[in-house]
Amino acid sequence: MPSPIIIAIDGHSACGKSTLARDLASRLGIHYLDSGALYRAVCLYCLDLGIHPEDRHAVIHNLDGLEIQISLGDYLKVMNNGQEVTERIRLPEVTRWVSEISVVPEVRRKVNEILRRIGKQQSLVMDGRDIGTVVFPDASVKFFLTADKMVRAQRRQNELQSMGREISLEKVLENLEHRDTIDSTREDSPLRCAEDAVLIDNTLLDRSEQLELAMSYIRLISS
Residues in contact with ligand DC by CB under 6 A are 13, 35-36, 39-40, 98-99, 102, 128-131, 179, 183
State the minimum distance, in angstroms, from the CB of residue 134 to ligand DC. 8
State the minimum distance, in angstroms, from the CB of residue 13 to ligand DC. 5
Element (H, E) at 198: strand 198-201
For ligand DC, give the closer residue by CB, 93 or 212. Answer: 93
DSSP character at residue 134: I
For ligand DC, give the closer residue by CB, 132 or 198. Answer: 132
For ligand DC, give the closer residue by CB, 44 or 218. Answer: 44
From residue 59, alpha-carbon distances to 34, 49, 62, 185 in Å are: 22, 10, 6, 20
Cα atoms in the Cβ-side hemisphere of radius 13 Å centred on 48: 17
The answer to whether 10 and 140 have CB atoms below 8 angstroms apart is no
Residue 192 makes CB contacts below 8 A (sequence gap 6+) with: 133, 184
For ligand DC, give the closer residue by CB, 116 or 212. Answer: 116
State the minimum distance, in angstroms, from the CB of residue 199 to ligand DC. 18
State the minimum distance, in angstroms, from the CB of residue 205 to ligand DC. 19
